[in-house]
């Protein structure tokens, strides 16, 4: 099924990390299942794909939260580092939207990478 990719302005949306990072498994089209112990690769960079669980903070205190997995390719073997319950900045964040078998919509989040957090200021009083 065809999908439509929509860029997301990361300066207008805050994604909070749950601290959970998972390997993205390889999907077997023939057997219609994930291959246990495998890890998918990004077709453009050949980097290993990781999924970072995040909660979008839309600023609406009355709405329920829902976690999303943002797929990120990483060159090398190490998982991306994120801090639990802290904002995550992504480079090239986008959502791919496609129709599913039931006729509804399914969204897949992805990014080209994780932008390192700016160093925080150390405490020490005002002034």
**Is 79 domain-assigned?**
yes
In this predicted structure, what is the pLDDT of residue 10? 81
CA distances, 89 to each of 52, 104, 115, 117 (Å) = 11, 29, 5, 7
Full domain range(s) for residue 99 = 3-115
Tally of domains in the chain: 1
Whether 120 maps to a domain, the answer reads: no
Q: pLDDT digits over 12-63, tens only?
A: 888 999 999 999 999 887 887 888 889 999 999 999 999 999 999 877 888 8
Does 124 fall in a domain?
no
The three state secondary structure string of 47-108 is: CEEEEEEEEEECCCCCCCCCCEEEEEEECCCCCCCCCCCCEEEEECCEEEEEECCCCCEEEE
What is the model's pLDDT at position 1? 57
Provide the CATH number for the domain around residue 107. 2.40.50
State the pLDDT at residue 121.
Answer: 42
In a domain, 46, yes or no: yes
Q: Is residue 66 part of a domain?
A: yes
**Residue 118 pLDDT > 80, yes or no?**
no
| Residue 126: band (very low, low, confident or very high) from pLDDT cuts 50, 70, 90 | very low
pLDDT at 117 (0 to 100): 64
Q: What is the pTM of this model?
A: 0.82
Residue 103 placed within a domain: yes
CA distance 13 to 114: 15
Residue 126 belongs to a domain:
no
User: Are the C-beta atoms of residues 21 and 82 closer than 8 Å to each other?
Assistant: yes
């Amino acid at each position: 099924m065809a999908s439509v990719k929509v860029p997301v302005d990361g300066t207008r949306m805050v994604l909070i990390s749950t601290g959970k990072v998972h390997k993205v498994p390889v999907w077997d089209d023939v057997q219609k299942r994930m291959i246990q112990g495998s890890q998918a690769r990004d077709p453009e960079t050949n980097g290993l794909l990781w999924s970072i669980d995040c909660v979008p903070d839309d600023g609406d205190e009355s709405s329920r939260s829902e976690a999303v997995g943002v797929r990120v390719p990483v060159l090398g073997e190490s998982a991306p580092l994120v801090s639990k319950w802290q904002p995550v900045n992504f480079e090239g964040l986008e959502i791919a939207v496609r129709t599913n078998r039931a006729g509804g919509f399914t969204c897949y989040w992805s990014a080209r990478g994780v932008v390192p957090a700016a160093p925080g200021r150390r405490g020490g009083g005002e002034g």
